[in-house]
Structure 1
């Protein structure tokens, strides 16, 4: 009886806490002030975020502290456009952690891991994006209470630096596809959600699997391939493990370990998932101004296998497939429109060579640089996604 009363009491308490959070965390404008240098902007956003937590009812903070310590786990910051971890998002995260440890000692800040996610009260996530007008950047941070799924604080700051190091970190640089998916979109949406509103439900639901994935990414980037493989395989076995990042990671690790057949099988699963979710953007890289792939075998050596698997998976689905070429922002719009279409035609030709029966169901399109994701025109690893080739399904009549 006593246990039942305690459980009911805690349930009622959490319900009351959630209601108070919603009323106390009224939406507030953020990130509307003057732009400032990178380090200063990160510090301002962190201070703003954490000060908001101190404005919650005092009794709420005391009661919650008795129930469970204030533990925050930081889901690695992402580029808001591409959904990738970059050199500058990691720099921002390092500054964020340092600031919190120095100024807000009432919270325990932990790295993103399976163990820490299990113990955490809150998750902090954030995005760094280039401003729409091309002048500087914007940092968004959000703190979500995991028990209620409510964003309890959200802050933003404008960054005046004209150029930051947006090169993707090794896993994202090496990934054969753009791994941005519904989970990543939920992450980005949550980072922009006003305080008092619910965080993205799918993003929160998949946090445990995302933590396993981050452990795998860390092992891959440290060159610990056996550990990385074990963590990617663990993620793949989870109910929500059928994700682009999982199959990208399996492919990369197996290729590094010389397990060629396994790597091809993983790429096949990656291609199939991308086609089924209408979200397959492959980083085929071409010679400048050409429809020929780059000659470096370290880059293009796997392309024949990629094409073989894309063709094989496309033959196993009913819809037509539109092959769309993209280019980075170098040269005129007219030239890039023509070049992107020519590259799409070249890829389509290679696919039909692999699977002639696929020819009637393939279409091609060229977008030039009109749908750039990064948009810097750097023409290096930092904007490789802008030169992607997309494969999207469509009803055959509409696709024609």
Structure 2
């Protein structure tokens, strides 16, 4: 008898989810809202739109679905869409989302994004804040998506425009301190999912990595709270998982080892970062230079580790058969011609330092300057908020005969 009831309940649930997907797909081509609004109002509107979409099931199917699940949601911390970083304003947006849901949508329980709660949740909410190229509609766009974890289907998605012109886009402490840009295939999947229309599948790799992402977030929270031993333990746990070969995880290991004075371990970990970055052709290092110069910043808190970074990059580059293009980038300050020249000069300087560490690289390294043509942030603020725009990239290419 119990088995029969369970089968019936599962069949009804499958039917309900199927109906939800059909209804959501009918809404899949909603136009992006054109009216920008203040930040708090835009966040509230995005949440309201998202939650209303979950209530579009026929009444009896919604009732069936509500009896089969606890409607528990975890919120994967919001990211800045271009860089894949958490910023001060994305953190505030996340807090506003939680407040709005707790106040207006009590049928959902919002649980912490951690290793325990991810196993109990039916849904994951994620989102991005994007600097909009079409400033006429508002300088920023907020994307939110709600995905049913078990089916992998996005069941609701909302977009609002934000009229505020001065949001705090500084990266949070972990992302500010990370030696490399950790935006990898998994982060790109997160960003795509936040913009995926209802009824369509969320990014598979993003969903697959969710359990590890919770461990990474626990570690990052401990790091930013100054609990370095705890952070190191959680980063180590994340790195040992089957999908733990991630730049953000190794960056966390490197940062905590450095903070705890474990210099040899930190250098070994940075070597792993360099190796993984070259293997995946995704190594962007935050070497910071004096304005208008090829000299690194003289502040030892920032540049003391640079010789070790160069040593490890050189060692890893020397071990591969391919060649490597060293590309300099600059932020959007000054003329295009000046920045093109400066970015090339910086790449040439870094190349020379690498050859000094490993002379055989003289035949394998090339230099290139992009100026500000490939800015990630693009504000021209020349501060921590756009440090990624002044990165040095290392791209693996075939060697010409």
Aligned residues of 2:13 and 2:68 also touching (Cα < 8 A): no
Give, in angstroms, the shift of residue 35 of structure 1: 0.6
Tell me, yes or no, if structure 1 residue 47 matches structure 2 residue 48.
yes
Aligned residues of 1:30 and 1:155 also touching (Cα < 8 A): no
Aligned residues of 2:131 and 2:139 also touching (Cα < 8 A): yes
Change (3 A) 1:10 1:264: farther
Q: What is residue 175 of structure 1 aligned with on the other side?
A: 178
Residues 80-89 or 129-138, more deviating: 129-138
Aligned residues of 1:150 and 1:196 also touching (Cα < 8 A): yes
CA distance in 2, matches of 1:72, 1:146: 10
**Cα shift readout 1:1-33 (whole Å, capped 9, x = no counterpart):** x56545644553443233212211021415323
Q: What is residue 17 of structure 1 aligned with on the other side?
A: 16
Q: What is residue 89 of structure 1 aligned with on the other side?
A: 90
Q: What is residue 324 of structure 1 aligned with on the other side?
A: 327
1:99-138 mapped onto 2 (5 Å cutoff): 99-134=100-135, 135-138=138-141
Give, in angstroms, the shift of residue 110 of structure 1: 1.4
Q: What is residue 39 of structure 2 aligned with on the other side?
A: 38
1:1-400 mapped onto 2 (5 Å cutoff): 5=4, 8-9=7-8, 11-25=10-24, 26=26, 27-134=28-135, 135-397=138-400
SS of equivalent to 2:395:
strand
Aligned residues of 1:30 and 1:156 also touching (Cα < 8 A): no
**Cα shift readout 1:78-132 (whole Å, capped 9, x = no counterpart):** 0000000000001111111111110000000112111111100000000001011
CA RMSD of aligned residues (A): 1.3
Change (3 A) 1:10 1:272: farther
Aligned residues of 1:324 and 1:390 also touching (Cα < 8 A): yes
CA distance in 2, matches of 1:318, 1:9: 59
Count of residues in correspondence between the two structures: 397
CA distance in 2, matches of 1:80, 1:11: 37
Aligned residues of 2:51 and 2:156 also touching (Cα < 8 A): yes
CA distance in 1, matches of 2:172, 2:95: 15
Give, in angstroms, the shift of residue 40 of structure 1: 0.8
**Cα shift readout 1:271-294 (whole Å, capped 9, x = no counterpart):** 111100000000000000000000
Aligned residues of 2:215 and 2:235 also touching (Cα < 8 A): yes
**Cα shift readout 1:348-367 (whole Å, capped 9, x = no counterpart):** 00000000011111011000
**Cα shift readout 1:326-377 (whole Å, capped 9, x = no counterpart):** 0000000000000000000000000000000111110110000010000000
Change (3 A) 1:277 1:252: same
Q: TM-score, normalised by structure 2?
A: 0.96
Aligned residues of 1:24 and 1:57 also touching (Cα < 8 A): no
CA distance in 2, matches of 1:11, 1:360: 63
CA distance in 2, matches of 1:392, 1:57: 52
Q: TM-score, normalised by structure 1?
A: 0.97
Which segments of 5 or more consecutive residues in structure 1 lack a partner in the other structure? Answer: none
CA distance in 2, matches of 1:87, 1:255: 24
CA distance in 2, matches of 1:318, 1:188: 33
Change (3 A) 1:245 1:3: farther
CA distance in 2, matches of 1:9, 1:270: 51
Give, in angstroms, the shift of residue 163 of structure 1: 1.7
CA distance in 1, matches of 2:5, 2:321: 56
SS of equivalent to 1:231:
helix
Aligned residues of 2:16 and 2:62 also touching (Cα < 8 A): no
CA distance in 1, matches of 2:96, 2:302: 34
Which segments of 5 or more consecutive residues in structure 2 lack a partner in the other structure? Answer: none
SS of equivalent to 1:161:
coil
CA distance in 2, matches of 1:114, 1:90: 20
SS of equivalent to 2:368:
strand
